[in-house]
A and B are shown apart, each in its own frame.
Chain A
């Protein structure tokens, strides 16, 4: 399809392991966002990429979280030394441009469970 694609859809891992989540935005969309949604909670902004500009990392909860976006397209979110509180659904969204009125299109998310 032509939507935002995320993988894996589900990930179960042991505490202390590293995980890598992938997002493939809609073709041509220059803006890419990562959010997470804990059970029963709203969406929490994590990081934003726009073109070749420096990303806005202001939402990353700790230095165990990092993200990159290669070639202005695919993005990976990496969580090192996972903790149980990292369990959540990680959602990626993209939009055509950086404007504040641009609607964001979400992927199905990666459901991360830390044992």
Chain B
């Protein structure tokens, strides 16, 4: 089993749609969780951290369920510019040790007019 698993995608949605991505992780000791975004042939960039209580940043909402070891990302009112690969990222080192991150395979999102 992979340490971080994501929806395989790809997701093709029209502008204005709401889309949700799911992710599961295997190390119950993981402490930090993130969603990164990677545009085609570009470097990954941090989209948002994911907190236990859930957090929102504009049109983006992230949720964490520690009991189920499950993370989600919801994008509302999709824009063409949201088209990218979304990477679920987990610190699988656990505890307070350093930020060794494990990346999921990524989910491709294409928003069309």
Contacts and interface: CB of A to CB of B under 8 A. Distances in A.
Interface of A: 31, 33, 35, 41-43, 45, 48, 50, 56, 91, 95, 98-109
The residue among B95, B101, B102 with the most chain A CB atoms within 10 A of its own CB is B101
B106 A100 contact: no
Contacts of B96: 99-100
B26 interface: no
A103 B99 CA distance: 8
Contact of B99 (A42, A91, A101, A107): A101
Instruction: Tell me the interface secondary structure of chain B in the complex.
Output: loop
Interface residues of B, number: 24
A42 B100 contact: no
Contacts of A45: 100-102
Given A41-B105, A43-B87, A101 B44 contact: no
A31 B43 contact: no
